[in-house]
Structure 1
């Protein structure tokens, strides 16, 4: 599975960009994967339903990921909660081969990974599934991943229930990228301009 090289601007969702900026602030300090207990991005509470937390056991090959959160929109998309289950088991034999390599790439690189896939809901409406994976760890080893999962449809309304298991068609990958360029937090230009006016 191939991944393109990208900078943070590839992320479409403003809220996912905020989450990524929070990660970048920590990464830029030591140029290494940050610790999860230091991660406090803005508006985190507003995003909790779209976030899934995983523990990572890198001693296994391939690494073992275990779902540590429940009650998220992912649970609706997959039809049931996966708390305390391994991710590959939760995904099942149809989805695991196309989803797990994305997580393995995030673990191997220790860098954010961003993907977009297209999938049809039960009514045939096209839905874009945007996934941002943020790695956390210690001593150069990834021990946690936080995933932000967004579902967007140009039709507006769509059925999220069982979205990932609704039909015979598998999600069609449109973009797979490792965010490995320009790994620093850029202050929004409107804030920078305000600072110049105030202090210049």
Structure 2
């Protein structure tokens, strides 16, 4: 599945939209990737269970991502903690071809990437797995990344334990996007500078 071009409105979750807006505010100041230490969204503590922090070594091909922290949602979905491990080794051979291209695209484009995949839980209920990847830089290229992972089921309740490893079926990609359009943060009541009208 190819990656579509999208604007920030593609993100469904209000909380993920807030995370993206904080990233956009930093990005738009100088049109370059923010530094990881600058990123301090409101109510960050509430989101930590759904966040995973990575460092990125882009000097090797393919790039290597090291898990620096993993929220409880990721640990539950994959069955165990991954802190300190390479992401590709943590995922395992079955999931690498499905998951890693999303991270590589974020590094390649140095822009946010948003995806939705469907996966069945242990009881056969369909769960939508919404992933937002935000890139950061400490100088040259992408050096850090934050992933926000949300799960939702139209059936209501679902079992997150071993969600990613609990059955034989792989996640089915439903949407893959690079957020590369309308990359400005619209402050309330302000007109984006590109829309200013001159009167002569």
Structure 1: gaps of 5 or more residues: 194-200
Matches within 5 A, 1:103-114: 103-114=103-114
What is the rounded CA distance, in whole Å, between the counterparts of 2:45 and 2:110 in structure 1? 25
1:88 is the counterpart of 2:88:
yes
Does the C-alpha gap of structure 1 residues 71 and 184 become closer, same or farther in structure 2, counting only changes over 3 Å? Answer: closer
Q: CA RMSD in A?
A: 1.2
**1:62 corresponds to 2:66:** no
Structure 1 runs, 4 residues or longer, greater than 3 Å off: none
1:143 alignment counterpart: 143
| In structure 1, distance between residues paired with 2:73 and 2:98 | 20
> Which aligned pairs between 1:18-97 and structure 2 lie closer than 5 A?
18-97=18-97
Alpha-carbon deviation of 1:138?
A: 3.0
Q: CA deviation at 1:71?
A: 4.7
Whole-angstrom CA distance in 2 between matches of 1:152 and 1:113: 19
- C-alpha separation in 2, matches of 1:107 and 1:172: 22
Q: Alpha-carbon deviations, 1:147-169, whole Å to 9, x = none?
A: 00000001110000000001110
Instruction: Kindly indicate whether the alpha-carbon contact (under 8 Å) linking 1:50 and 1:149 is maintained by their aligned counterparts in 2.
Output: yes
| Per-residue Cα deviation, 1:67-97 (whole angstroms, up to 9, x for no partner) | 0003521000000000000000000000011
Residues 134 and 71 of structure 1: CA distance in aligned 2, closer, same or farther (over 3 Å)? closer
Q: Give, in whole Å, the separation in 2 of the partners of 1:69 and 1:19.
A: 17
Distance in 1 (alpha carbons) for counterparts of 2:179 and 2:138 = 20
Change (3 A) 1:140 1:32: farther
User: Aligned partners of 2:57 and 2:48: how far apart in 1?
Assistant: 23
SS in 2 for 1:24: helix
- The yes-or-no answer on 1:156 pairing with 2:156 is yes
Query: How many positions carry a matched residue from both structures?
Result: 190
Q: Distance in 2 between matches of 1:74 and 1:186?
A: 31
Aligned to 1:192: 189
Aligned equivalents of 1:175, 1:70: Cα separation in 2: 24
